């Protein structure tokens, strides 16, 4: 039986993860508008899914509440389905290849060791702050106490990474670049051959988790109407988030992620005298729609969370973590994300959906570290992290 071969010539194998020459640049204002709308829906879905609540995140790490895991796995599954469909349709496969190339390009020459260490730092920050780079935006919009400290911490984490990026550990040559950045490329098989069965497996796991712990018993539910109700089933909210990959690929030419947007915001500090010398890594994030679409996405997410929480009369009703935990965890969130080459959205939703090998290293590392940190804080240090 012959093995799978790329559609085009042998040279296609070499250029698979370069930008397709046939891809035409989208109108930038439209791209930023699409980013804002996509971010708004993202913010609404996360707010309704309740996974932005610090206590929900911490309880997930203590394995006492599975709301976050149900939503995360649902988003991964629907994202895999979306990517598979886009890769099979002739009219969209070129855009899908462009988005994949953007993701691989963002990884640079990241190694498995940096993905693992970055994932560990990110996961530790998730438990400490009760947030992740995407959740911070929703927390700000929903007026979670001390969420601004977490956001400030992410900005400081961006500066810290920029100042240390040129250290010996971060220096890599072309030998560090993976020859096969995705699992389907490594196995020489179409993406959907792997993604569709994995999506079905994740969906089955979500179904089993909800039988074990019904979602309505893990979150408080009240209110009426689609927007007036406090919470949606996590698998509904997660599916919506995963399907947002479709407009992100088709209209923006990229995949979901937020840490680059935070770097773009931090890069605006380069106008301050002296910062250009010590923050040279930030220069590439200062301008360009490839960076700024995430900033508009972030603003949309804050707006979506604000509207959603306001319509359900829940804005400001969620407890926050201590300011010190919020800030220090925020630093770890973005530093770990940049070291790993992606955040919970970048690696967890987009990378897993694209079958990126480094994402299969980073995601287990972040959740493993988050769980370990939670148990150490609660049972080792006696910190009551699951009550705010």
pLDDT tens per residue, range 299-325: 999 999 999 999 999 999 999 999 999
Q: Which residue has the tokens 């956001």?
A: 151
Mean pLDDT across the stretch 74-88?
97
Q: Please, are residues 377 and 383 in contact by the beta-carbon 8 Å criterion?
A: yes
The confidence band for 109, taking pLDDT boundaries of 50, 70 and 90, is confident
Mean pLDDT across the stretch 137-141?
97
pLDDT of 296 > 90? The answer is yes
pLDDT value of position 27: 85
pLDDT of 198 > 70? The answer is yes
Kindly report the pTM of this predicted structure. 0.90
pLDDT of 351 > 70? The answer is yes
The confidence band for 164, taking pLDDT boundaries of 50, 70 and 90, is confident
Contacts (Cβ under 8 Å, ≥6 apart) of 156? 327, 330, 331
Q: Which residue has the tokens 């099979």?
A: 88
Task: List, for residues 229-249, the tens digit of each pLDDT value.
Answer: 999 999 999 999 999 999 999
Beta bridge partners of 356: 182
d(CA 246, CA 244) in angstroms, rounded, equals 5
Q: How would you write 282-311 as a 3-class SS string? A: HHHHCCCHHHHHHHHHHHHHHHHHHHHHHH
pLDDT value of position 22: 44
Task: List, for residues 20-70, the tens digit of each pLDDT value.
Answer: 544 445 588 899 999 999 999 999 999 999 999 999 999 999 999 999 999
d(CA 58, CA 80) in angstroms, rounded, equals 27
pLDDT of 335 > 70? The answer is yes
How far is the CA of 203 from the CAs of 72, 73, 122, 327, 352, in angstroms?
Answer: 11, 7, 25, 35, 14
Torsion region of 146: left, alpha or beta (phi above 0 gives left; psi -120 to 50 gives alpha): left
How far is the CA of 77 from the CAs of 27, 129, 355, in angstroms?
Answer: 30, 26, 12
- The values of phi and psi at residue 356, to 5°, are -70, 130
3-state DSSP assignment of residue 356: strand
- The values of phi and psi at residue 142, to 5°, are -90, 5
Mean pLDDT across the stretch 2-15?
38
Beta bridge partners of 182: 356
Q: Please, are residues 304 and 47 in contact by the beta-carbon 8 Å criterion?
A: yes
Quick one: which of 172, 148, 120, 135 has its CA closest to 337? 120
- The values of phi and psi at residue 53, to 5°, are -70, 125
Angle between helices 147-164 and 323-340 (to 10 degrees): 40
3-state DSSP assignment of residue 182: strand
Quick one: which of 108, 80, 122 has its CA closest to 355? 80
How far is the CA of 118 from the CAs of 106, 124, 343, in angstroms?
Answer: 15, 10, 9
Rg for the chain, CA atoms, rounded: 20
């Amino acid at each position: 039986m012959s093995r799978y071969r790329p559609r085009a010539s042998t040279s296609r194998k070499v250029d698979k993860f370069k930008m397709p020459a046939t891809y035409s640049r989208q109108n930038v204002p439209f791209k930023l508008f699409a980013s804002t709308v996509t971010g708004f829906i993202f913010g609404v879905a996360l707010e309704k899914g309740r996974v932005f609540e610090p206590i929900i995140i911490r309880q997930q790490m203590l394995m006492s509440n599975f709301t976050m895991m149900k939503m995360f796995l649902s988003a991964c599954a629907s994202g895999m389905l979306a990517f598979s469909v886009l890769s099979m349709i002739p009219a969209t496969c070129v855009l899908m290849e462009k988005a994949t190339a953007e993701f691989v390009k963002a990884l640079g020459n990241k190694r498995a060791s940096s993905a693992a260490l970055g994932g560990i730092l990110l996961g530790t920050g998730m438990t400490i702050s009760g947030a992740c780079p995407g959740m911070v935006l929703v927390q700000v919009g929903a007026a979670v106490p001390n969420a601004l400290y977490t956001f400030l911490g992410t900005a400081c984490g961006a500066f810290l990474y920029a100042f240390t990026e040129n250290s010996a550990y971060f220096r890599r040559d072309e030998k560090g670049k993976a020859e096969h950045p995705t699992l389907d490329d490594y196995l020489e098989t179409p993406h959907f051959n792997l993604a569709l069965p994995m999506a079905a497996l994740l969906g089955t796991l979500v179904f089993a988790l909800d039988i074990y712990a019904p979602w309505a018993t893990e979150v408080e539910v009240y209110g009426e109407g689609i927007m007036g109700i406090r919470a949606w089933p996590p698998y509904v909210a997660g599916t919506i988030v995963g399907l947002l990959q479709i407009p992100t690929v088709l209209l923006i030419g990229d995949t979901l992620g937020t840490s680059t947007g935070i770097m773009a915001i931090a890069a605006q500090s380069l106008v301050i005298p002296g910062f250009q010398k010590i923050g040279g890594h930030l220069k590439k994030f200062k301008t360009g729609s490839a960076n700024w679409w995430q900033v508009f996405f972030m603003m949309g997410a804050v707006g979506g969370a604000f509207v959603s929480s306001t319509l359900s009369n829940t804005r400001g009703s969620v407890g926050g973590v201590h300011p010190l935990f919020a800030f220090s965890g925020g630093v770890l969130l973005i530093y770990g994300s940049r070291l790993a080459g992606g955040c919970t959205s970048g690696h967890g939703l987009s990378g897993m959906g694209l079958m990126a090998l480094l994402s299969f290293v980073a995601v287990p590392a972040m959740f493993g570290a988050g769980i370990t940190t939670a148990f150490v804080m609660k049972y080792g240090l006696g910190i009551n992290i699951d009550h705010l």
